[in-house]
Structure 1
Amino acid sequence: MRAVLVAAGRVGETTRFPSVLLVEPPKAEVRGYREGAVFSRRAQAVVLDVATGVASEAVVDLVVGELLSWRDLAAGEGQPAVLFEEYDRSADLVRADERWQAALRRRGIEDFSLAFVAPLSPGFFDYPEEKGRRVLRALTFLRDFEEDSPWAHPVEGLLAKVDLITGEVISVDDSGNVPVPAEHGNFDAAHVGPARTTLKPIEITQPEGVSYTVDGNEVTWEGWRFRVGFNAREGLTLHRIEFDGDSVAHRVSMAEMVVPYGDPAPWRYWISYFDAGEYLLGKNANSLKLGCDCLGVIHYFDAVVADDHANAVTIPQAVCMHEEDYGILWKHTNILTGATEVRRSRRLVVSFFATIGNYDYGFFWYFYLDGTIQLEAKATGIVFCGSAEPGTTSPYAAEIAPGLMAPVHQHLFCARLDMEVAGERNTVDEVDVVGIPTGPDNPYGNAFTTTTTTLASESGAQRVADATKARTWVIRNDDNTNRLGKPRAYQLMPHTGPTLLAQPDSTVAARAAFATKHLWVTQHDEAENYPAGDYPNQHPGQSGLPTWTKADRDLENQDLVLWHVFGPTHVPRPEDWPVMPVDFSGFTLRPHGFRDRNPALDLPDGAKSCSHCPPGQCHCGH
């Protein structure tokens, strides 16, 4: 990619690459691919001139080494993602600013060397001084020593704004008179003290090896087949998912997430991070370690992303895959004979972790023996705090340590589910469980049933989950039926939580409009990949899903993409400090008439092979 653009005269000393992403082959080409055939390979680079601020899109044919297209981003189209080098650049600019130094001196701080300036994406508010500029806002935190956690010592009321192109610190607002919290927030062994000794070792072994096979990036396991992909924006992607030889999904990924804060204070009202579109989840992926991040017999996949100069960077062991026991899958004891049949569940886990500033996010795809797929998002790391006088109460933040205030906020993830349930043509039904009013159809008042509503067009397929009705969404294929003559289908089961809580007239509601619904369904389009649009950074809003769905395309028996929003609404608590235990969220996709009967009937009886108990009398769980 870089070599082609250099040859085309498009790369100079001030050229940077906020993102380089593979342009995946069209679906028709993937579906029709045969082993050994030549297929297209293209990549898109977002190119930024850090001297002028001009941003462009380039598409390169990687097979022939040719620049296919080049276009400059228009005003109002948003800014490219933040470069790694811009974090240090903006922080250095702020630290050198006399107004910022004066603000620290006013608080009695003369040594600036341990001050941590945290540059953050600015949101969008159409301020005149920000028009046409590439901007970061910066908050300040202090450290007592080099390895000290800065998040424990926020400097309240100090906010700087930086123009990344001109190198100007546009403004420094200093309106805080609150003491900086003194208590440390370190959680390493040296500060926590001796580790407990009461936990006995747990060993996970597979003496006969693993049950899966890996061929390049293709994985097969107990009826499942899929390919593992990775890119700088979404991180882990899974492709061509099949169960028992039949297609389930063409491609699934974590396409976007937004973290809006609910504190209206001047130094926090603008916080609404788009961790995929503004910071790039995949580019910030961790290199995982055995025994810490992953436990058991592990297969790792390395990831390759581009740095700010479009040079390839390998992230070793970015994706972890392993099997793990998951308790009972099915069981029954015959009350007439006393005979018991029980089978244990197992799942294949494919996961990665990304660290974005103070938060760490893990995305775990689980594949089960009965055809179920689950995505679990794990949010951990350090909560983002401001400060106040100890004992302060606030409707917008909780005191989690003396003088340390953690604002309420949300983590709203959006999974992109390019479904292909038993074939290319799918339809989505919304299924509710409802009670029937007492009357001729329900004379005793006990009856309830399901109601089904077909989501026939994009305008009617913007839905909110409803736990009171056990609402689910069923993706069916009318062209492919089971032995009962019903369409083969998968069921999307949401784990219900709030959608975006910001007001409809807020700028974050415009920019993160995707997060105002739990479900959107669109007709597939190769150009529609990110629910908040291609450039959410400093974008005024209404890009992505709200724009695409204005076409109100037909959704019956079509090639469909489901966009599912979920995630925790975080009201912090003292137990979240100094490091937050994992907050779990996610959803489940399970077969719904996709198979004619329980697909896990043929699992081996663990009791008959257990060495811990008498034959046929296993009580130990093995």
Structure 2
Amino acid sequence: MTLADHHHDTSPSRPTGLGALGRPAEVRTHPLDMTSTAEVDAVRTALADAGLLGETVRFAFFAPEEPPKSDVLAAAPVDRRFRAVLLDLATGRSTDNVVSATSGDVVSTRELDPATEGQPPIIDAEFELIEDILNVDAGWLAALAARGIEPASVRAVPLSAGVYDYPGEVGRRIVRAFGFQQDHERDHPWAHPIDGLVAYVDLTARTVDRVIDAGITPVPTASGNFDDPAYVGPDRETLKPIEITQPEGPSFTVEGNHLTWQNWDLRFGFNEREGLTLHQIGFDGRPIVYRASIAEMVVPYADPAPVRFWQNYFDCGEYMFARYANSLKLGCDCLGEIHYADAVLADDLGNPVTISNAICMHEEDFGVLWKHADMFAGSAETRRQRRMVISFFTTIGNYDYGFYWYLYLDGSIELEAKLTGVVFTAAADSEYATQVAPGVMAPYHQHLFSARLDMTVDGVGNAVEEVEAERIPMGPGNEYGNAFRQKRTRLTSESQAQRSADGSVSRAWHIVNPSVQNSLGGTVGYALLPEGQATLLADDASSIHDRATFATRHLWVTRYDPAERYPAGDFVNQNPGGAGLPAWVAADRPLDGEDVVVWHTFGTTHFPRPEDWPVMPVEHTGFRLKPVGFFDRNPTLDVPPSRGGHCS
């Protein structure tokens, strides 16, 4: 949720080789190819030539501007475009620009209205300013002095401000800052929250609007240094090595960003807002998902205290959390026969930054695929499941998030989010927090993610059905009361397709192609199987409800529009609310047999435990997409027995 260590490769980029027209020497031949350093340079050059850069202008956002789906599917000529949002640190003025790296032209530019649209995301250059701003403010220094704390020992954590009933903040670029005491250079300051104290900071004016001091609470002295042997104790010596080997190499191939494995075929991408993206996912030549990503996440906190009520963070839209993607390491983050892919982003100055080993790809055993020992035929057969793993990890302040896309031999797709890191801390006793160490409180909160699934099940004309179990009352035709059946409801419009999960009736959503039938006469489809955990728990009248409306339903379905990419809107930071999904579905467009996008909210409600301190064991959440009628029979009958075993 705040500035993290980057571990990025910041070595000088390759020469761009720009010609007279500003065209990059390194040509991309597919519209969904990964970003190159030459393209970042080309975009920066085009913006500079157009007079849009300057000494105080910084890149607040940079990502590929993917062409419409129809252009890609029609193999239209490649025009590699990028979206760059520029922020002038001196004035707060920001512009939203689209640049063609193919031609070197600025395709469009417009100035943002921060009062109605919100602000660009918070950037590194602003994080770096915060302690200097606070340490010249008399109110902040007086509050620290009253607590006997040296300012030099305080690590200030600037956090997104949200939107509340402060008229003076409208249109201004604001963050709210907490302090944490750091006892020495290697000390983890999250263990030492300076509670009861928050500063509201204007990033453009570089001034403190107000300091709220709700009273002195002793700073906890408990250690949070999970990497200190003096605190942790010696490593256990009872774990024996596990070696993952594939003597003949992996079963997948990667060419550029094109991955093939067994019957699967797809492209992968990466951008600073969504991180890992998957494109044109198909099985045995049949399309299933055109584009899949985690398009937003929000972390709303439950403590209504005067210094904490505003805590809620959109880690994708407010912080561009994939900027801080880790460079993954063999044996630590990934195990086995690994293929890594680098990711190229732009820094605050628009220079290319390469994150080495940002994406990890490998295959892994996943237990029994199918098995039967038949007493009549005398057969005994077992096959083992295997999955292809495509993943990345990112660190955003105190939390670390891993996102793992799994492809299975049986045609299933799964997304697993792994949550770890350090819980956010407080010191004041509260009914809205758990004590995790002496004097250290961890407020209750949620982690709610929005998956954007642009579906193309055997083509672009799809529909969505809600499928659930229906109990049949005892009576005529059900004299013994054992009957239940499947109930199917077609979601024909955007207003109807705002749904919540219900585990009591095994509710799922089937994305079907009404114009394609399998050999048994049924429609081909994929089922979205939700975990069905709690959605947004904040009150319907709250500010966060207005800004994170996407998180109030497990399912939304919209008609495809290439401009509709982010469920809380393009500019989430200090957006007053109503943007994204609630605005789009107001049109109530028809969905039956149309080109549809499925949005799925999933996540966890975290009541921290003492076992989550000082670093949290991984918490898991996610969802599955499972074929239903897409195949005429079990598609894994041709999987051979494991070689070298005793399965045949």
Q: TM-score, normalised by structure 2?
A: 0.92
The answer to whether the 8 A contact 2:222-2:439 is kept is: no
Q: CA deviation at 1:54?
A: 0.8
The 5 Å alignment of 1:164-563 reads 164-190=203-229, 191-388=231-428, 392=429, 394-563=430-599
User: 5+ residue gaps in structure 1?
Assistant: 617-622
Distance (whole Å) between structure 1 residues aligned to residue 251 and residue 171 of structure 2 = 55
Partners of 2:625 and 2:194 lie apart in 1 by: 45
Quick one: distance in 2 between partners of 1:312 and 1:434?
Answer: 55
- Distance across 2 between alignment mates of 1:354 and 1:227: 21
C-alpha distance in structure 1 between counterparts of 2:435 and 2:367, whole Å? 39
Other-structure match for 1:595: 631
What is the CA distance between 1:536 and its match in structure 2? 0.8
Q: RCO greater where, 1 or 2, for CA within 8 Å and sep 6 or more?
A: 2
Give runs of ≥4 in structure 1 deviating > 4 Å.
none
Partners of 1:481 and 1:203 lie apart in 2 by 45
Code of the aligned partner of 1:431: V
Instruction: Look up the SS of the partner of 1:317 in the other structure.
Output: strand
| 1:570 correspondence with 2:606 | yes
| 1:129 partner amino acid | G
TM-superposed deviation, 1:337: 5.0
Q: What is the CA distance between 1:128 and its match in structure 2?
A: 2.1
Give the SS at the match of 2:551: helix
Partner secondary structure for residue 544 of structure 2: helix
Distance in 2 of aligned mates of 1:371 and 1:471? 21
Aligned to 1:620: none
- Opposite residue 483 of structure 1, the aligned amino acid is S
- Distance in 2 between residues matched to 1:184 and 1:417, nearest whole Å: 43
| 1:448-484 CA distance string (max 9 Å, x none) | 0111110000000000000001000000001111101
The alpha-carbon deviation at position 98 of structure 1 amounts to 2.2
Tell me the amino acid that sits aligned with residue 268 of structure 2: V
Query: How many residue pairs were aligned?
Result: 604
Cα-Cα RMSD: 1.1
Deviations 1:143-190 (A, max 9, x none): 111110110000010101110111111111112221110111110152
Stretch deviating more after TM superposition (57-66 or 556-565): 57-66
Q: Unaligned stretches of 5+ in structure 2?
A: 1-42
Cα distance, 1:39 vs. partner? 1.1
Q: Does the 8 Å CA contact 1:61/1:68 hold for their aligned counterparts?
A: yes
For residue 123 of structure 1, the aligned residue among 162, 168, 191 is 162
- Give the equivalent residue in structure 2 for 1:12: 54
Q: Which amino acid aligns with 1:42?
A: R
Equivalent-residue separation in structure 2 for 1:70 and 1:175 (angstroms): 45
Write the deviation string for residues 243-283 of structure 1: whole angstroms up to 9, x where unpaired. 11100010000000000001001121101100000001221
Whole-angstrom CA distance in 2 between matches of 1:40 and 1:126: 44
In structure 2, C-alpha distance between the alignment counterparts of 1:124 and 1:146, rounded to whole Å: 35
Q: Match for 2:125: what amino acid? A: E
Which amino acid in structure 1 is aligned with residue 224 of structure 2? G
| Paired residue secondary structure (2:134) | helix
Which residue in the other structure is 1:619 paired with? none
| Deviates most, 440-449 or 579-588 | 440-449
Shift of 1:92: 1.7
- Give, in whole Å, the separation in 2 of the partners of 1:224 and 1:298: 18
> What is the identity, as a one-letter code, of the residue corresponding to 2:419?
A
Structure 1 residue 22 and structure 2 residue 64: aligned? yes
Asked whether the 8 Å contact 2:81–2:101 carries over to 1, the reply is yes
The answer on whether the counterparts of 1:114 and 1:146 sit within 8 Å (CA) in structure 2 is: no
Distance 2:237 2:135 in 1: 45
**Cα shift at 1:369:** 0.1
- Please name the residue that 2:619 is paired with: 583
Letter in structure 2 aligned against 1:128: P
Residue 439 of structure 1, CA deviation: 1.1
Q: Secondary structure at the match of 1:509?
A: helix
Contact 1:90 / 1:136 at 8 angstroms: preserved in 2?
no
Larger mean Cα displacement after TM superposition, 83-92 or 240-249: 83-92
Which residue matches 1:147?
Answer: 186
Structure 1 counterpart of 2:104: 65
Q: Distance in 1 between matches of 2:337 and 2:558?
A: 39
Q: 1:578, 1:519 → 2: CA distance?
A: 35
What's 1:55 paired with? 94
Residue identity opposite 2:235 in structure 1: A
Q: Please state how far the C-alpha of 1:310 moved relative to its aligned partner.
A: 1.2
- Asked whether the equivalents of residues 29 and 39 of structure 1 are also in contact (C-alpha less than 8 Å), the reply is no
Deviations 1:537-557 (A, max 9, x none): 001101000000000000000
- What's the CA shift string for 1:475-514, capped at 9, x where partnerless? 0001111101111100000011000000000000000000
CA contact (8 A) 2:269 2:277 kept: yes
Shift of 1:395: 2.4
Contact 1:499 1:518 survives alignment (8 Å): yes
After TM superposition, give the deviation of residue 338 of structure 1 in Å: 4.4
**3-state secondary structure, aligned to 2:569:** coil
Cα deviation 1:111-136 (Å, max 9, x = unaligned): 32221100000111030221221001
Offset at residue 101 of structure 1 (A): 1.6
Look up the SS of the partner of 1:567 in the other structure: strand
Q: Which deviates more from structure 2 when the two are superposed, residues 261-270 or residues 171-180?
A: 171-180
**Shift of the alpha carbon at 1:332?**
0.3
Give the AA of the match of 2:617: P
Aligned equivalents of 2:127 and 2:88: distance in 1? 17
Q: Which residue of the partner structure matches residue 16 of structure 2?
A: none
Aligned partner letter, 1:417:
L
Q: Which amino acid aligns with 1:213?
A: T
Give the secondary structure class of the aligned counterpart of 1:555: coil
For 1:567, the aligned partner's letter is: G
Whether 1:162 and 2:201 are equivalent positions in the alignment is: yes
| AA aligned opposite 1:178 | T
Task: String of CA shifts for 1:399-428, please: whole Å, max 9, x gaps.
Answer: 111111111100000000000001110000
Aligned to 2:644: 610
- Contact kept in structure 2, 1:91 and 1:138, CA below 8 Å: no
Alignment equivalent of 1:82, drawn from 122, 126, 130: 122
Contact 1:45 1:57 (8 Å CA) reproduced: yes
Give 2:577's aligned amino acid. G
Identity %: 56
Deviation string 1:379-403 (CA, Å, 9 cap, x unpaired) is 1100001003xxx4x3211111111
Task: Find the aligned partners of 1:282 and 1:578 in 2 and give their Cα distance.
Answer: 24
The equivalent residue for 2:9 is: none
Q: Deviations over 1:352-384 (max 9, x none)?
A: 011111000000000000000000001110000
Tell me if structure 2 keeps the 8 A contact 1:119–1:136: yes
